[in-house]
Amino acid sequence: MNIAVDFGGTNIKIGLVEKGAIISKTSISAQSDTGLVKRLPVVKATIHELLAQSGYTISECSGIGMATPGLVDTDNQTILSINDKYADAIGFSFFEWVSGAFSLPLVLENDARAALIGETAYGVAQGETNAVLMTFGTGIGTAAIINDQILRGRHYQAGILGGHFTTNINGPSCNCGNIGCLEAQSGSWALEHQARQHVDFMGSRLAHASEINYLTIVEAARAGDRTSIDLLEDLISNWSAGIVNLIHAYDPDVVILSGGLMKSKKIIVPLLEERVHRLAWTPWGKVRFMVADDPDTSVLLGVSRLLERKR
């Protein structure tokens, strides 16, 4: 059995995984304002609680797999660069922490890569050997598998920077230093800024929303709010451009979509499919779209798969 930990920006998800199935899982607040390293004692205590509740001991575990956002050096098990509040973890030795706290083997991986590995090993895309994933959360994460090999690259950044493909050369500045990134125009963190740029923002129902996120825009658009309809069209164009870029770069058979936006999959996915099929250069046929069944578990399954391969 493996222990799996997914350090999200809002929640840290912890699971026990055996043979591609989640035995039990829990979630704790990330409290990412204070950084990642300060949460590790709580992560350790939560792992022990989860083991005890499930009737297991640490001696029955074969390894611990962890996933974080950002650029991860999977060989040295450190974070090289990260855009969000976990910046304190850059250079932190997860290997030393795990050795001291659990005496178990460790894998550390980027979260979108782990999600793609999880989905192709045990999830909706089981058996697919040429696949890309796009996950819509606070930012937009991506990953790619070509001929059954997960792409990491010389500097560990291959495949995972799809959220930072330029989709508008005159677009807003991104937190990565580039301009007009897909994420800076259509990631959750950018939505309020994008909405406020609309000429009719003050007349929109979004002006009265407590928070502007994917779901508030989709729901307001469905209710006929003109500003939200415009914003959603713009978002679909951006997300489609990102997916077309992934297809042109990595030549997949399937595109796996994941993350909070997929709560609105019935509305979003057909719009993306139509536009991507119309715009992508794929003379061999059509890329198939798939939606992750449970975005919360695909990362946990993915890091567990990496541990199994390591043995």
Sites of contact with Zn ion (CB under 5 A): 164, 174, 176, 178, 181
Nearer to Zn ion, 122 or 156 (CB): 156
First and final C-alpha spacing in the chain: 12
Enumerate residues 6+ apart whose C-beta is below 8 A from 146: 130, 250, 251, 252
Nearer to Zn ion, 46 or 168 (CB): 168
Beta carbon of residue 159, minimum distance to Zn ion (angstroms, whole number): 15
Beta carbon of residue 157, minimum distance to Zn ion (angstroms, whole number): 12
Beta carbon of residue 176, minimum distance to Zn ion (angstroms, whole number): 3
Nearer to Zn ion, 24 or 178 (CB): 178
What are the CA-CA distances from residue 204 to residues 153, 189, 225, 261 (Å)?
Answer: 45, 19, 7, 21
Nearer to Zn ion, 27 or 175 (CB): 175
Nearer to Zn ion, 77 or 138 (CB): 138
Beta carbon of residue 83, minimum distance to Zn ion (angstroms, whole number): 8
Q: If you ran DSSP here, which 8-state letter would residue 61 be given?
A: -
Where do runs of H (alpha helix) occur along the chain? 40-54, 94-102, 111-121, 182-186, 191-196, 214-222, 226-250, 265-279, 295-310
Beta carbon of residue 171, minimum distance to Zn ion (angstroms, whole number): 10
Beta carbon of residue 70, minimum distance to Zn ion (angstroms, whole number): 13
* CA quadruple 287, 141, 9, 2: dihedral sign: positive
Q: How many whole angstroms separate alpha carbon 73 and alpha carbon 59?
A: 27
Q: If you ran DSSP here, which 8-state letter would residue 287 be given?
A: P
Buried b (16+ CB within 10 A) or exposed e, 19-52: eeebeebbeeebebeebbeebbeebeebbeebbe
Strand ranges across the sheet with 21-29: 21-29, 11-18, 2-7, 63-68, 106-110
Nearer to Zn ion, 181 or 299 (CB): 181
Nearer to Zn ion, 6 or 183 (CB): 183
Beta carbon of residue 84, minimum distance to Zn ion (angstroms, whole number): 12
Q: 301 is written with which tokens?
A: 């399954």
